[in-house]
Amino acid sequence: MADRVLSVTAFTTLDLVDAVAEGHGWNKEAVGILNVTTPKGEDSPEEVLLQVELDNAELERLPAHAETVSLSPEQAREVAGELERYADSIEET
């Protein structure tokens, strides 16, 4: 990926996921990474970070950047539960 913002390592949660950048009147498919982590350098982190970065090499309208969402442990569990629920619903059909 050009202009890396997030570090992709053996510990990255999901690398090379299919993604879509969307704006008013446009959307563009790109590969990206999705990572779940906690803040680096903290002995007792109080948040879970959900990070996503799209490869901007094919995205004319989107400069290199990453999105990070800060979740409390409870919010992280709620998101995990929703992911499980939707995954289960796909597999049941």
pLDDT value, residue 48: 95
- Could you tell me the CA-to-CA distances from 5 to 59, 68, 74 in Å, in that order? 15, 11, 27
Residue spans of alpha helices (H) in the chain: 73-92
Nearest CA-CA partner of 49 in 71, 82, 81: 71
Sequence spans of domains, the chain? 14-92
Between CA 35 and CA 15 the distance in angstroms is 8
> In this prediction, what percent of the chain has a pLDDT beyond 70?
98
Residue pLDDT tens, the chain, 93 long? 557 777 787 888 988 999 999 989 989 998 999 999 998 887 888 999 999 999 888 787 788 888 999 999 999 999 999 999 999 999 987
The residue type of 33 is I
